[in-house]
Amino acid sequence: MKKVRKAVIPAAGFGTRFLPATKAMPKEMLPVVDKPTIQYIVEEAIESGIEEIIIITGKNKRSIEDHFDRSVELEVELEKKEKTELLRLVNSISDMVDIHYIRQKEAKGLGHAIYCARTFVGDEPFAVLLGDDIVHSDDEPALKQLIDCYDEKQATVLGVQTVAKEEVDKYGIIDGYEMSDRVYTVNDLVEKPDVDKAPSNQAILGRYVISPAIFDILAETEPGVGGEIQLTDALKELSKQEDMFAYDFKGKRYDVGNKLGFLQATVEMALRRDELKVDFLAYLKTIVDQERIDVE
Ligand code: G1P
């Protein structure tokens, strides 16, 4: 039985939706409360049992590498000032896991970004985590739920949740049926369908466990929606060759790739923090009351 040990995290996009913040800074480094979004993703991978990570980067992404590397000057400074708690925090980031980096030289789409990881992955099943989707889960991390499903099925598993009908054109959508609790068989997939043509409203939300057979398919996949090589198109082809499942994972997912989703994540993550929740909630209540007064 093959184990899922490796994860691919694409982080090569331009982040145009967050300009000007992302002019000189990668969108993956934007903080939700006090942690870059990509750290939430890396932590989820580690908590799911992943041993090695490759981050697909592009131009302007050096600060991601710096973030997961040691910062000797900072460590010395914190040590001098006896800030042991902060020192531990800073060290824990660089000690997290083995992270590798590869540059996607051209922005040819998600499918192409994943293809860049083929040598790193080799002939093993692997996980993909997309940085725009942060998932908070009080149970198992979202990826762990998919890996458990993979262990049982030994086949590709896509992480899905139900989205509003009018939102299906933002996602990869599956056509499948629920065969057991939360597990769907996937018969077909379509990337960003028109709202009236979608086969369902089960959307792929940034978590995958994929069979290595995808690489041969990606090598041949033509550009699809938006002129980009789409992972969904390659998965559609894979579903014709091998079994494929979708898992309706538990957890609250935030789309930090758009401003409203990013703000929602910030507010809710802050409300989960012991040192912030009481004061922050009190503050939010005053804001909300104020708004009511203004509207009346
Ligand atoms: C990508 C995938 C899409 C998936 C989505 C999840 O789209 O192509 O299939 O549903 O991520 O966030 P993007 O958001 O990069 O346009």
Q: Cα angle at 68 between 81 and 118, to 5 degrees?
A: 170
- The string of pLDDT tens digits covering residues 40-67 is 999 999 999 999 999 999 877 889 998 8
Same domain for 79 and 177, yes or no, is yes
Q: How far is the CA of 68 from the centre of ligand 1 (A)?
A: 25
96: helix, coil or strand?
coil
CB atoms within 10 A of CB 231: 28
- Least confident residue range of 86-90, 134-138, 185-189: 86-90
**Which residues share a beta bridge with 186?**
176
Residue nearest atom 7 of ligand 1, based on CA coordinates: 171
Structure tokens given for 146 = 């998919």
Query: What's the CA-to-centroid distance between 275 and ligand 1, angstroms?
Result: 34
User: Which atom of ligand 1 is found nearest the CA of 132?
Assistant: 12
- Closest ligand 1 atom to residue 257 Cα is 14
Residue % of the chain over a pLDDT of 90: 76
Which residue, by CA, sits nearest to atom 10 of ligand 1?
A: 171
**Contact indicator for 266, 154 with CB cutoff of 8 Å:** no
Is residue 52 a part of any domain in this protein?
yes
pLDDT at res. 1: 77
pLDDT at 184 over 90: yes
Site to substitute for ligand 1 among 14, 114, 170, 171, most atoms within 8 A of C-beta: 171
* In a shared domain, residues 101 and 246: yes
249 plus 294 within the same structural domain: no
Tell the residue nearest (CA) to atom 11 of ligand 1: 206
pLDDT at 265 exceeding the cut of 80? yes
| Residue 92 within any structural domain of the chain | yes
From 104, 134, 170, 230, give the residue whose CB has the most ligand 1 atoms within 8 Å, as the site to mutate.
Answer: 170
Q: Does one domain contain both 63 and 51?
A: yes
**Number of folded domains that form the chain:** 2
pLDDT tens column, 89-146: 878 777 778 899 999 988 899 999 999 999 999 999 999 999 999 999 998 999 999 9
Q: Are residues 13 and 135 in the same domain?
A: yes
**Is pLDDT at 204 greater than 90 in this prediction?**
yes
- Answer whether 131 contacts ligand 1 (Cβ < 6 A): no
Whether 130 lines ligand 1, by a CB cut-off of 6 Å, is yes
155 against 22, higher pLDDT: 155
Six token digits for residue 9:
């995290």
Ligand 1: does its nearest atom lie under 6 Å from the Cβ of 203? yes
Q: What is the structure's pLDDT at 254?
A: 97
168: Cβ below 6 Å to ligand 1?
Answer: no
- Name the band, by pLDDT with cuts 50, 70 and 90, for residue 6: very high
List the residue whose alpha carbon is closest to atom 1 of ligand 1: 171
Work out the pLDDT band at 295, boundaries 50, 70, 90: low
Give one DSSP letter per residue of 180-225, joined into a string: ETTEEEEEEEEES--GGG-S-SEEEEEEEEE-TTHHHHHHHPPP-G
Q: Which residue has the higher pLDDT, 74 or 157?
A: 157
Of residues 152 and 66, more confidence is placed in 152
Higher pLDDT, 23 or 114: 114
Q: What is the pLDDT of residue 293?
A: 60
The answer on pLDDT for 259 being more than 90 is: yes
Contact between 234 and 172 under an 8 Å Cβ cutoff? The reply is no
Question: From the CB of 172, is ligand 1 less than 6 Å away?
Answer: yes
Residues 60 and 193 in one domain: yes
Mean pLDDT computed over every residue of the chain = 92
Q: Report cis status (omega within 30 of 0) of the bond before 20.
A: yes
Domain span holding position 270: 258-296
Banded pLDDT at 292 (limits 50, 70, 90): low
Instruction: Tell me, yes or no, whether 203 and 278 share the same domain.
Output: no
Crossing angle between the packed helical segments 72-80 and 84-94, to the nearest 10 degrees: 160
51 and 136 in a common domain = yes
Answer whether 256 contacts ligand 1 (Cβ < 6 A): no
Q: Are residues 280 and 249 in the same domain?
A: no
CATH of the domain at 13: 3.90.550.10
Residues 10 and 119 in one domain: yes
**Claim to verify: residue 226 and residue 189 sit in the same structural domain:** yes
Please tell me the distance between residue 93's alpha carbon and the centre of ligand 1 in angstroms: 27
Is the CB–ligand 1 distance for residue 15 below 6 Å? no
Residue 50 lies in a domain: yes
**271 and 233 together in one domain:** no
- In order of 70, 244, 248, the CA distances from 241 in angstroms are 44, 9, 23
Nearest to 130 by CA among 89, 107, 163, 158: 158
Cα–Cα distance for residue pair 224/42, rounded to 1 Å: 29
- pLDDT tens readout for residues 206-242: 999 999 999 999 999 999 998 999 999 999 999 999 9
Residue 1, domain member (yes or no): no
> What per-residue confidence (pLDDT) applies to 106?
84
Amino acid at 154: Q
Looking at 79-83, 156-160, 171-175, 209-213, which range is the least confident one?
79-83
- Which of 108, 130, 134, 163 best tests ligand 1's pocket when mutated (most atoms within 8 Å of CB)? 130
